[in-house]
Amino acid sequence: MLICFDSSAEAKKALDALLETKEFKDVSEAVCMALVNYEAMHRTIGKSGAVIGEPAPTPRPPAPKPAPIPVAGAPADAAFVASWKEALEPFSLTVSTLEGIETVPLAEPPKPITTNLPPKDWFFGQLNRFLPAKATCRALLNMERQNPKGVLVSDASSKIAFAACRLGDYLRELDTRFNFNRDYSLAAAFPSTEYHGAESRIRFGNQFVGNIKQGQLTGLPAGIGLLGHDASKDPRLLLTPTGAQFALLPNPLLDDLSSPGRDKLSEAEIRFLLDHIRKHVPAEISAYVAIIDGIKEKANTPEKLDEYLCRRFTLQVVEKADPKKPEQITKTFLSTQRTGAVSRMADLNLLWRQRQGLNVSYSVSHPAEVFRSEIQ
């Protein structure tokens, strides 16, 4: 079947970036997968916003506007806590052990672990934050209490993404409270009830919960080994042992509504992720090592870092990359890969971004120096 349609410049840019990941054999497969994903979300989410299969919400008057939040650093008052308690419930830690929770084994990478993979083999740049992955692990842990055998991937993706809209609203309130700009935004990558609608939920579900594509589970949590799926005909989403342990760790934003912190992850969560990445995630090790080395060699701006990556991996920037020539990469895809890796590193306190007007520069932290010294 042949279908022709008009495409916006933004949609074409997104399509080109997807094709450069090499996860789709051609434009047709990428577009078909997008349509299938959208139909699944539309089928799962009712017109009222309720998840099909659950009781429809009882009509009620519009909820009152959340109480104003206090100035930064002050404890939240009772009105603020009450106004956001429901939003955090799907992501709150309700258990202290993993008793009764089934997990799927963590896939081990080949030994020795490769630490010099080029940008095209890094995680897709739009998988750029760790807090959404934390929220997904916590939500799935709670869902597995009622579904010990796991949750259908499509159901988990739609339900967690829908709940993440209200969590996104809450995090945007905190961004306002702390006067955070986009580099430090707590709400970055989360959907919202206020705008973007189904599009942002689908994107969150695909990127930060998971989607089965060609028999493989995609998304950041799966990529770093926090989630997996069983071998049933209709795959069910399950935490790995690593993902379950990560879900149990307290989080400064999800677990302290009365006095929310400014950090996306606790020091314990960061140490846990870095230790896991160092032992099990070659793509992420390669990205961190290359960027740390580049910044230490004074490639400390986006433009200089892209030039450094081209030299390090012998890349050729072209208008349109030839899939048969691995050395070719477009400027857009290289920028997307670098931006995503930098954002994930910032979440782990491995680097800092400084802005002066429109100019951005990077500097590595002491934890980054320690991480780099542990990699051969």
49 lies in which domain range?
Answer: 13-54+80-373
With contact defined as beta carbons under 8 Å apart, do 76 and 259 qualify?
yes
238 inside domain: yes
256 inside domain: yes
For the segment 144-162, the average pLDDT, to the nearest whole number, is: 93
Ranges assigned E (strand) in the chain:
151-152, 211-213, 216-218, 227-229, 236-239, 316-318, 328-330, 351-356, 359-364
For the segment 203-211, the average pLDDT, to the nearest whole number, is: 96
- pLDDT for the residue numbered 376: 81
Give counts: helices (H), strands (E), the chain: 13, 9
286 inside domain: yes
- pLDDT for the residue numbered 20: 57
1 inside domain: no
362 inside domain: yes
Residues 6+ apart with CB under 8 A from 158: 40, 41, 44, 45, 51, 201, 205
For the segment 20-44, the average pLDDT, to the nearest whole number, is: 51
138 inside domain: yes
Query: Is the pTM higher than 0.75?
Result: yes
145 inside domain: yes
- pLDDT for the residue numbered 62: 43
* Number of independent structural domains in the chain: 1
- Side-chain-side CA neighbours of 33 within 13 Å: the count stands at 19
User: How many Cβ atoms sit within 10 Å of the Cβ of residue 357?
Assistant: 5
In 249-350, which residue ranges form alpha helices assigned H by DSSP?
267-280, 282-296, 302-313, 331-347
Q: Is the pLDDT of residue 55 over 50?
A: no
155 inside domain: yes
Which of 259 and 305 is assigned the larger pLDDT?
Answer: 305
Burial of 214 (0-12, 13-18, 19+ CB in 10 A): exposed
Look at residues 93, 164, 118, 110 and name the one whose alpha carbon lies nearest to residue 20.
118
Please identify which residue in the block is written with the tokens 């990558």: 189
Distance CA 261, CA 277 (A): 25
- When the pLDDT of each residue in the chain is averaged and rounded to a whole number, the result is 84
